[in-house]
Chains A and B, each alone.
Chain A
């Protein structure tokens, strides 16, 4: 009973165990939901999903599983839509991440052609008895987040005037923690940071003070406690600034400065592309107010945790060669400087705004990744969390 459904949900990477599944079966048996898809949706979500960040994945799985034959036919009726209309809808639906993927697939026109072809194919396959759109990732458009929303749009115009189901609205998209940091989820990210900063605190008995005051109290016990220790974390931040990185750096700066009070010390420095012998604190006066990297290494002890933010995308020689810098003549290659940082600070991570799938293995990015011992994380909520976990280990 419901095993297929359970497996679909699990395949969508919603973490649920046998226990949750049995809960659902028990709930269904108790007739909490009976012959009503909306009720069943609420019940299944209640039992199987334990965090709102998985709601979106669950919604997708749910709609994939229950997307029936009749929906597909209305979808087909609308298949010969004018090109312009389709393009408008496409652009409206596209988020930033989709746009990035789009570049990989060629121009928009090409993608639209492909889409039409795919539609026809699917029509045939539907005749052949496959009842669902986009399950098992047969369509490239599923990956673009097209699948559930696309169907919704067609439905909105269909003769049947079918109402949009909750799970098709995908209103929990912003709560998914694998998307990039933006204005909307910056608050959640902040909470993760605060969690990181507050670790290691506990209520303590101040033994020596207790003994002293008990003695002064003529032997009558007088317990003394010391308050929780807070803000023990010291942070050095290095931002890659200039060019394509600027918007990401701004988000990141805001994020960390909002969390500033949670840290004992936090210092911010800027560099361009790769770390060399100097960094600067103020980007406007970067040419005349530079700080020597040696000074940083000497000034800040190894109890500081170091976070680099940058895309690490540059010409490989900027990392590996003397004189490789695009801005000045560097006496020592960037790799040497990075290596010094890694040796000095055992807790060092690199946050990369580019999605993990774009990283690849070789090039400057691979080199940097090797230097930081693979402690490179994407600048998403979950990446941030991973990084913080690494730092606080």
Chain B
């Protein structure tokens, strides 16, 4: 199995290396990077290109590790016993398999995405060490051992809100997705909008990277914002010359709402525009 990027997703050589190494050596791959650099997207595209299922486990601040294995619904069993329901005698009726269980028992190797692992409690990754290492776990309620039929390909994303424990990191491969450079960005745009005018892309890209360079922005526009913005520009049929003029005269790019998500950032840009006008 080799991942080469797909027709909808541009992967840098380093990212391809990371994914292929993770597949070959059967290690989980931990991905970090600026928001909007396509960490979650990678899992979808990987599953698609390997023609397999994607199981997504989105982590929240309240998520516990064992929820990924299974949950024993004691409360509904208690209630059922009070109501005299028959299935109460078999405990396995109240075992709800979690995402890891699903991934372990799938018929072919699946892609398991553990999304935003840093949102969870600090002990969360530690609680999954053994399961990820041995690819098996034990259900105490039913005295049953769940062993992975096929090792799933595990992708883990993190936004750096918490440090992950060393023991956990040691078991993973780690890749930091860089913000794409200009050439990669052009490729990405070509993938999403194949028939966009080359000229427009070039001008838009310049404006985009200029905006990213503005010091003190709270949230720099990222790839997904660029793509949204291009979509708007195309829908509005804004010509190349407008873009060029906007850059020098008013310094506020058209449809900036798609690029900047923060009121203060917009104000900052306006202020800078005002100053550059006074200079000019």
Interface residues of A (CB under 8 A from B): 15, 17, 19-20, 23, 26-27, 30, 32-33, 38-39, 42-43, 46-47, 49-52, 55, 171-172, 183, 188, 191, 194-195, 203, 219-221, 223, 228
Docked pose: A354 CA to B204 CA in angstroms: 43
Q: Are A221 and B75 in contact (CB under 8 A)?
A: yes
Known: A46-B18, A194-B161, A221-B78. A32 touches B24 (CB 8 A): yes
Q: Are A49 and B174 in contact (CB under 8 A)?
A: yes
Q: Are A221 and B82 in contact (CB under 8 A)?
A: yes
Of the A-B pairs whose beta carbons lie under 8 Å apart in the complex, a sample of 11, sorted by A's number, is A15-B166, A19-B170, A23-B27, A23-B173, A32-B17, A42-B13, A46-B21, A50-B166, A52-B32, A183-B215, A221-B82
Instruction: Beyond the given A50-B174, A220-B79, please list 16 additional residue pairs across the A-B interface where CB-CB is below 8 A.
Output: A17-B170, A23-B27, A26-B25, A27-B25, A30-B21, A30-B25, A42-B17, A43-B21, A46-B174, A49-B174, A50-B172, A51-B169, A51-B174, A55-B176, A183-B216, A221-B78
Docked pose: A23 CA to B22 CA in angstroms: 11
- Which of A32, A183, A195, A219 makes the CB contact (< 8 A) with B21? A32
Docked pose: A20 CA to B30 CA in angstroms: 14
- Which of B14, B25, B32, B61 makes the CB contact (< 8 A) with A23? B25
Q: Are B20 and A203 in contact (CB under 8 A)?
A: no
Q: For A26, what are the chain B residues with a Cβ–Cβ distance below 8 Å?
A: 25
Q: Are B173 and A191 in contact (CB under 8 A)?
A: no
Closest chain A residue to B16 by CB distance? A42
Known: A27-B25, A32-B24, A220-B82. A50 touches B169 (CB 8 A): yes
B162 interfacial contact with A, CB 8 Å: yes
Q: Are B161 and A195 in contact (CB under 8 A)?
A: yes
- Which of A42, A43, A50, A203 makes the CB contact (< 8 A) with B170? A50
Docked pose: A207 CA to B152 CA in angstroms: 40
Question: Chain B 225-256 against A: per-residue CB contact (8 Å), 1 yes, 0 no?
Answer: 00000000000000000000000000000000
Q: Are A52 and B176 in contact (CB under 8 A)?
A: yes
Docked pose: A55 CA to B25 CA in angstroms: 22
Docked pose: A33 CA to B20 CA in angstroms: 11
Q: For A20, what are the chain B residues with a Cβ–Cβ distance below 8 Å?
A: 170
List the 3 closest pairs (A to B, CB-CB), nearest first: A50-B169, A52-B176, A42-B14
Docked pose: A221 CA to B178 CA in angstroms: 52
Docked pose: A125 CA to B178 CA in angstroms: 39
B175 interfacial contact with A, CB 8 Å: yes
List residues 46-90 of chain B with CB under 8 A from any CB of chain A.
Answer: 61-62, 75, 78-79, 82
Question: Chain B 123-164 against A: per-residue CB contact (8 Å), 1 yes, 0 no?
Answer: 000000000000000000000000000000000000011110
Distance in angstroms from A315 CB to nearest chain B CB is 37
Q: For A51, what are the chain B residues with a Cβ–Cβ distance below 8 Å?
A: 163, 169, 174
Q: Which has the most chain A C-beta neighbours within 10 Å: B24, B25, B30, B173?
A: B173
Closest chain A residue to B169 by CB distance? A50
Distance in angstroms from A230 CB to nearest chain B CB is 10
Q: For A219, what are the chain B residues with a Cβ–Cβ distance below 8 Å?
A: 82
Distance in angstroms from A47 CB to nearest chain B CB is 7
Q: Which has the most chain A C-beta neighbours within 10 Å: B160, B166, B215?
A: B160
Interface residues of B (CB under 8 A from A): 13-14, 17-18, 20-21, 24-25, 27, 30, 32, 61-62, 75, 78-79, 82, 160-163, 166, 169-170, 172-176, 178, 215-216
Distance in angstroms from A388 CB to nearest chain B CB is 12
Distance in angstroms from A3 CB to nearest chain B CB is 19
Docked pose: A52 CA to B14 CA in angstroms: 14
Distance in angstroms from A345 CB to nearest chain B CB is 25
Docked pose: A233 CA to B174 CA in angstroms: 33
Q: Which has the most chain B C-beta neighbours within 10 Å: A19, A39, A51, A188?
A: A51
Docked pose: A17 CA to B216 CA in angstroms: 38
Docked pose: A172 CA to B13 CA in angstroms: 18
Q: For B79, what are the chain A residues with a Cβ–Cβ distance below 8 Å?
A: 220-221
Docked pose: A236 CA to B90 CA in angstroms: 56
Docked pose: A377 CA to B21 CA in angstroms: 40
Q: For B162, what are the chain A residues with a Cβ–Cβ distance below 8 Å?
A: 195
Q: Are A188 and B170 in contact (CB under 8 A)?
A: no
Docked pose: A188 CA to B162 CA in angstroms: 10
Q: For B27, what are the chain A residues with a Cβ–Cβ distance below 8 Å?
A: 23
Q: For A27, what are the chain B residues with a Cβ–Cβ distance below 8 Å?
A: 21, 24-25
Q: Are B17 and A33 in contact (CB under 8 A)?
A: yes
Q: Are B62 and A228 in contact (CB under 8 A)?
A: yes
Docked pose: A32 CA to B27 CA in angstroms: 14
Q: For A49, what are the chain B residues with a Cβ–Cβ distance below 8 Å?
A: 174
Closest chain A residue to B12 by CB distance? A42
Q: Are A46 and B175 in contact (CB under 8 A)?
A: yes
Q: For A32, what are the chain B residues with a Cβ–Cβ distance below 8 Å?
A: 17, 20-21, 24
Docked pose: A223 CA to B74 CA in angstroms: 11
Closest chain A residue to B173 by CB distance? A46
Docked pose: A26 CA to B62 CA in angstroms: 37
Docked pose: A194 CA to B216 CA in angstroms: 21
Q: For A33, what are the chain B residues with a Cβ–Cβ distance below 8 Å?
A: 17
Distance in angstroms from B116 CB to nearest chain A CB is 13
Q: For A183, what are the chain B residues with a Cβ–Cβ distance below 8 Å?
A: 215-216
- Which of A38, A47, A52, A188 makes the CB contact (< 8 A) with B173? A47
Q: Are B25 and A203 in contact (CB under 8 A)?
A: no
